[in-house]
Amino acid sequence: MESIAWNQMYRSMHGPDEKRVFSGATARRILSFARPHRRKLIGFVVLSIVTSALAVATPVLAGRVVNAIVAGDQESVIVWLASAIAVLAVLDAALGLWSRWLSAGIGEGLILNLRTAVFDHVQRMPIAFFSRTRTGALVSRLNNDVIGAQRAFSTTLSGVVGNLVTLTLTLVVMLGISWQVTLLALVLLPVFVIPARRMGRRLAGIQREAADHNAAMGNQMTERFSAPGATLVKLFGRPEQESAEFAARASRVAQIGVRTAMVQTTFVTALTLVSAIAIAVVYGVGGLAALRGSLDAGDVVALSLLLTRLYAPLTALASARVDVMSALVSFERVFEVLDLEPLITDRPGAGGLPDGPVAVELDDVRFSYPSADKVSLASLEAVAVLDTRGGEEVLHGVSLRAEPGQVVALVGSSGAGKSTVAQLISRLYDVDSGAVRLGGVDVRDLTADAIRGAIGMVTQDGHLFHDTIRGNLLLARPEASVEEVWDALRRARLDDLVAALPDGLDTVVGERGYRLSGGERQRLTIARLLLKQPRVVILDEATASLDSTSEAAVQAALAEALAGRTALVIAHRLSTIRAADQIAVVEAGQIVERGTHAQLVVAGGRYEELYRTQFADDTSGGTSGDTSGATTDDTGVERGNLPSGRVS
């Protein structure tokens, strides 16, 4: 009875908003996920009914044993009744194991289906979705909400069916034994149920406060315990204040925990007392009736045992709506994610790229980043209402062409739209009008696999997974041999370093690759690109954050990556893109100038202004007339020196 009280309180505290209404469409979608498990579900329900019937039969047999003893029946009768109780116990245990096997199969199968459906769907979401969404909230959908949805079939369904059967049979048997004692026991039921619901709602408030504090502590730990976060705190933060804030939240959670424990214990103790009084009433009233001859002694024992079978299902059914609503809320939260439409999908009939070198072309491209309501959910961003901003055009009729094997550089102010162009070529977004073509084919007519296979990209913050060097490299080409992996490392000027590591290719690089230096990390991303062997290379500020020594090594590796490939190079500094076949100056979402370095300097436009300003501020001694490439940039390559790997 005590466990029933705890369960009742928990459900009242953690149940969803009872005013929430769910549509028939939600129910149909839930059934669609349950359909593959329908045979197990039917067997599970049948076993729940049989188990409930056995739970009622045992107290009845126990009462008959007492009556047989009192009546002085033959020993064989008592032995038969005791044996029947033992057989029912064995049968109940066997059915319990069978039921648990079915329950586990249904539950785990449902979790598998839901998780894979959500994971696969999220994989298809655009980059804008990930830039807005809290990772923790998204992971919660894959864990907590999926498990909550699973309980609808593995626990709630059997609980409702089993409790209904148990309650019906118990009431029928108890009323048949003594309707007076049964009604007297039912009078005490409100004393059991009503306080649980009221107390649960009272405790829900302080539990939510504790959850908020726990969430804040979790966010603080997640941010501060990551390598970049810990570095930031050590360099600019105030550790004492950080500790004080954390301690204050933890202290409040501890206080709430003590208060909650005392209230819960008081409540459960009171309800346990009520149930004990109810049993005492049955023994008292039933015992008097037995002495007067209106009730058998065995019937008194049976009634007291059946009383627990009566209170348990009644209390559980009183909370059944909370259980069902909780499961439906979990399903809806999962369906919310599944209902987000991916912005980038393969068209019917999409194909691959023709063999050979690939030209890259942008034809009168106009583009606006999607608004939040198209790519995100308020619940995943932890906001009440999604940001309605968005839809403002950031590229205005951009046209550009890189012939096969050419290097085209994009320069201009920050925010001018250079990286947006790179994202459109990679089809991380789709244009609003115009077209992006690879090898003369609109990227919207290519499959995602074809685009991934043709394009390799290196960004300023080359990301690495918390995996081995081998695992991070094989992400580009899983079928690559060990010799090919080492060849890519050699060409990225990283083979000696990896060979010197104790675990070699099996060295774990740490979260985001932070066990490696910036230059090593960037060269590893270049090795990944070299292993992939793409036909088009995009370099987006690939060495902007490196020191001069690391930059020189990375630029030498980039020379290998660019050789013989169509390349789009995005740069802020101009000293190393002078030998590009074409330089396009992007300002305010438009190409305002284009030509070679020499042509643009002579023209005296925006490029000449940027170039002159940059070298006037250059502390390395370079001048606007310098052609030695002493001042290095993050992405430019001196084309004439590609064979030697020198990047100027």
At residue 142 the predicted structure's pLDDT band, cuts being 50, 70 and 90, is confident
The architecture (CATH level 2) of 360-379+388-461+538-644 comes to 3-Layer(aba) Sandwich (3.40)
Pick the CATH number of 2-338 from 3.60.15.10, 1.20.1560.10, 1.20.1540.10, 3.40.47.10: 1.20.1560.10
Least confidently predicted of 103-107, 483-487, 632-636: 632-636
Confidence (pLDDT) at 203: 65
> In the chain, what are the domain boundaries?
2-338, 360-379+388-461+538-644
pLDDT tens for each residue of 100-130: 888 888 888 888 888 888 888 888 888 878 8
- Higher-confidence position of 557 and 439: 439
Whether residue 175 contacts residue 364, with contact meaning beta carbons closer than 8 Å, is answered with no
Residue 361, classed as helix, strand or coil, is strand
Confidence (pLDDT) at 622: 40
- Higher-confidence position of 607 and 145: 607
Nearest to 327 by CA among 208, 159, 202, 164: 159
Whether residue 491 contacts residue 557, with contact meaning beta carbons closer than 8 Å, is answered with yes
pLDDT tens for each residue of 536-586: 989 887 766 556 666 666 677 777 777 778 989 887 767 667 778 899 999
- SS3 labels along 537-601: EEEECCCCCCCHHHHHHHHHHHHHHHCCCEEEEECCCCCCCCCCCEEEEEECCEEEEEECHHHHH
At 198, list the tokens: 């009221």
> At how many degrees (to 10) do helices 548-562 and 518-532 cross?
0
How many whole angstroms separate alpha carbon 300 and alpha carbon 285? 9
Q: Is the pLDDT of residue 60 over 90?
A: no
